[in-house]
């Protein structure tokens, strides 16, 4: 039976501390600091937007954040509303791919256990921090029975920008918590594929772990993720839709971050962060309007599904 192609919206729930770490900004927290706005503000905004538009999404959660009962309760509500909870590792180590096998195993196992306790369901999806996938991570996901990974970002402009930022930080004596990705991951296919466990950026002949790359514009490889949609605007996204749909026939993987629904006026957003994350300067209402336009354009060609449901459909049709 022919099924409609899937549009999968996912949100990486990186806390504010992940951004201050990338940009080398001090971020002292005290008992009187306001709660992290990613959980206290942005998560509820995403849930309200999805309820309004009838979207079921996938939240990639960092294990250590789930130890906080308030956060765990918010994600329990998200799961109860039909959204998928997937793993974004336990400590969000940007250099996870350089860690020992036992650390990689532990980062994945601990987060699976926490998420299963919250949702009551087995966790089947993973996204590595900083799009930084490697063969040891893919092999560990396979051995822990994961259905899919969604980590690769075949986007040379992103890779070049990340390299430039890290180099300029080194020159000015600031330390970034980030790590460059393996360049061969830029060569991955744009469509979902079953990954070769030894070279997960290449397809394999048999069954195994699915890889679902982030969406880019074919040819120029401009990134299509929540943050770049502010630059593009809803009307240009709509104009690009035929080109995007041509190279994303079975599944459109649109990635957001929790920070995409915050702006500089929100309590708990460090003032210094605005200088490094210009998208924080875009007013919330403008972002919401862009996203509404994008979701409406997607709905004309795709059915919204969680990544888990979309990959299960692909798996059955192989």
Name which of 196 and 255 has its Cβ closer to Zn ion. 255
Segment (H or E) for 201: strand 199-203
Chosen residue from 8, 9, 14, 197 binding Zn ion by CB under 5 A = 14
Q: Give the nearer residue to Zn ion in terms of CB position, either 49 or 225.
A: 225
Among residues 133, 126, 129, the alpha carbon closest in space to that of 87 is found at 126
Judge contact between 194 and 204, C-beta under 8 A: yes
Q: Kindly report the CA angle at 306 between 196 and 16, in degrees rounded to 5?
A: 90
Q: Which is nearer to Zn ion, 97 or 244 (CB)?
A: 97
Q: Per CB under 5 A, does 65 bind Zn ion?
A: no
Indicate whether 107 belongs to the interface with Zn ion (CB under 5 A).
Answer: no
Minimum CB–partner distance for residue 150 and Zn ion (Å): 12
DSSP per residue over 206-225, as a string?
Answer: SS--EE-PPPB-TTT--B-B
Residue 87 has a CB neighbour count (10 Å cut-off) of 27
Q: Considering only 9-17, 262-270, 280-288, 290-298, which stretch makes contact with Zn ion by CB under 5 A?
A: 9-17
Contact 86, 126 (CB under 8 A): yes
Give the nearer residue to Zn ion in terms of CB position, either 21 or 306: 21
Q: Give the interface segment with Zn ion, choosing from 13-21, 135-143, 248-256, 278-286 (CB under 5 A).
A: 13-21
Among 6, 7, 9, 12, binds Zn ion (CB under 5 A): 12
Q: Are 148 and 311 in contact (CB under 8 A)?
A: yes
Q: Looking only at residues 221 through 240 of this chain, which bind Zn ion when binding is defined by CB under 5 A?
A: none
Residue nearer to Zn ion on the CB measure, 14 or 266: 14
Q: Which is nearer to Zn ion, 131 or 291 (CB)?
A: 131
Of 14 and 36, nearer to Zn ion (C-beta) is 14
- Mark the segment that binds Zn ion (CB under 5 A) among 14-22, 48-56, 115-123, 136-144: 14-22
260 binds Zn ion, rule: CB under 5 A: no
Closest CA to 254 of 234, 219, 289, 226: 226
Residue closest to Zn ion (Cβ): 14
Q: Is residue 95 helix, strand or coil?
A: coil
**Is residue 291 within 8 Å of 48, Cβ to Cβ?**
no
- The Cβ of residue 296 has, within 10 Å, a number of other Cβ atoms equal to 12
Contact residues for 207 (Cβ-Cβ < 8 A; gap 6+): 194, 318
Q: Does 149 bind Zn ion (CB under 5 A)?
A: no
Report 109-148 residues binding Zn ion (CB under 5 A): 129
Counting residues that bind Zn ion (by CB under 5 A) gives 3
Name the residues that contact Zn ion, by CB under 5 A: 12, 14, 129
């Amino acid at each position: 039976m022919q099924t409609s192609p899937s549009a999968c919206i996912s949100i990486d729930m990186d806390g504010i501390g992940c951004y201050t770490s990338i940009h080398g900004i001090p971020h002292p927290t005290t008992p009187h600091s306001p709660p992290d706005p990613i959980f206290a503000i942005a998560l509820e905004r995403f849930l309200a937007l999805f309820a309004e538009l009838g979207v079921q999404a996938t939240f990639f959660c960092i294990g250590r954040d789930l130890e906080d009962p308030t956060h765990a309760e918010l994600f329990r509500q998200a799961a109860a509303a039909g959204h998928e909870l997937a793993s974004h590792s336990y400590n969000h180590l940007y250099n996870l791919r350089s860690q020992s096998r036992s650390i990689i195993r532990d980062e994945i196992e601990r987060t699976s256990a926490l998420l299963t306790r919250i949702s009551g369901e087995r966790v089947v999806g993973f996204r590595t921090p900083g799009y930084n996938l490697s063969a040891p991570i893919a092999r560990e996901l396979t051995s822990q029975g994961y259905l899919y990974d969604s980590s690769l970002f075949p986007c040379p402009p992103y890779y070049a920008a990340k390299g430039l930022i890290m180099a300029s930080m080194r020159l000015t004596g600031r330390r970034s918590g980030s790590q460059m990705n393996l360049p061969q991951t830029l060569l991955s296919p744009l469509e979902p594929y079953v990954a070769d466990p030894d070279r997960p950026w290449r397809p394999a002949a048999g069954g195994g772990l699915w890889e679902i790359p982030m969406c880019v514009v074919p040819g120029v490889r401009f990134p299509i993720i929540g943050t770049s949609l502010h630059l593009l605007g809803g009307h240009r996204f709509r104009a690009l839709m035929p080109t995007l749909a041509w190279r994303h026939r079975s599944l459109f993987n649109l990635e957001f971050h929790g920070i995409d629904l915050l702006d500089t006026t929100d309590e708990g957003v460090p003032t210094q962060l605005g200088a490094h994350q210009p998208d924080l300067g875009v007013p919330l209402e403008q972002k919401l309007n862009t996203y509404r336009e994008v979701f409406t354009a997607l709905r004309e060609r795709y059915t919204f599904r969680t990544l888990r449901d979309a990959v299960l459909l692909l798996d059955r049709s192989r």
